[in-house]
């Protein structure tokens, strides 16, 4: 609870992204519900990735390798939209799935000892 506001907002957006992204992956594709929920997911993921640029905790005061995932996520989301507009459905699905697996991976890594969620789960 003592974490800075940006960390709380980042973690909240990431957790919402897990729920919304999971739902989009399993729902019927191509419907207007898929498109609208997909855009909600893109907004949440963009917020998650951008907000992380203001979190400099793993290497205090400096960017860490995890920030590469933030850039990769933004690139994947843009690529997914671009591929869909170009009619490349398989490419669109791959880029979206890649961004979702990145989210899952980042979520798992937050449980490492010493990180905020790790400390919440397993103590100091
Ligand atoms: C369920 C998923 C996620 C949760 C619960 C979560 C939670 C957190 C928390 C609590 C922190 C702050 C302090 C710490 O490092 O422990 C953090 C930092 C960070 N997160 Fe996430 N996050 C998630 C997903 C993501 C995703 C998808 C990205 C990239 C797109 C991301 C990128 C980062 C980065 C770059 C940092 C800063 C690391 C540093 O201090 O160098 N996170 N996250």
User: What is the DSSP annotation of 109-120?
Assistant: HTTSTTSHHHHH
Q: What is the pLDDT of residue 29?
A: 95
Q: Is 58 helix (H, G, I), strand (E, B) or coil?
A: coil
Which residue's CA is the closest to the ligand 1 atom numbered 35? 67
Distance from Cα 111 to the centre of ligand 1, integer Å: 10
- What range defines the domain where residue 60 resides? 5-122
In 3-state terms, the chain is what percent helix, strand and coil (to 5)? 75, 0, 25
Whole-angstrom distance, CA of residue 14 vs CA of residue 9: 8
The count of domains in the chain is: 1
Structure confidence at residue 28 (pLDDT): 96
pLDDT in tens, 39-80: 999 999 999 999 999 999 999 999 999 999 999 999 999 999
Cβ of 57 below 6 Å from ligand 1: yes
Q: What is the pTM of this model?
A: 0.94
Cβ–ligand 1 contact at 49 (below 6 Å): yes
How far is Cα 114 from Cα 1, in angstroms, rounded to an integer?
15
């Amino acid at each position: 609870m003592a974490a800075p506001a940006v960390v709380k907002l980042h973690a909240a957006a990431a957790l919402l992204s897990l729920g919304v992204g999971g739902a989009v992956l399993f729902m019927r594709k191509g419907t207007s519900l898929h498109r609208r929920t997909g855009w909600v997911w893109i907004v949440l993921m963009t917020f998650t990735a951008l907000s992380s640029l203001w979190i400099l905790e793993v290497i205090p005061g400096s960017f860490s390798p995890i920030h590469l995932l933030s850039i990769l996520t933004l690139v994947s989301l843009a690529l997914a939209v671009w591929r869909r507009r170009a009619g490349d459905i398989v490419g669109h699905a791959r880029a979206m799935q890649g961004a979702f697996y990145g989210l899952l991976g980042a979520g798992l890594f937050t449980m490492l000892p010493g990180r905020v969620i790790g400390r919440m789960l397993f103590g100091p």
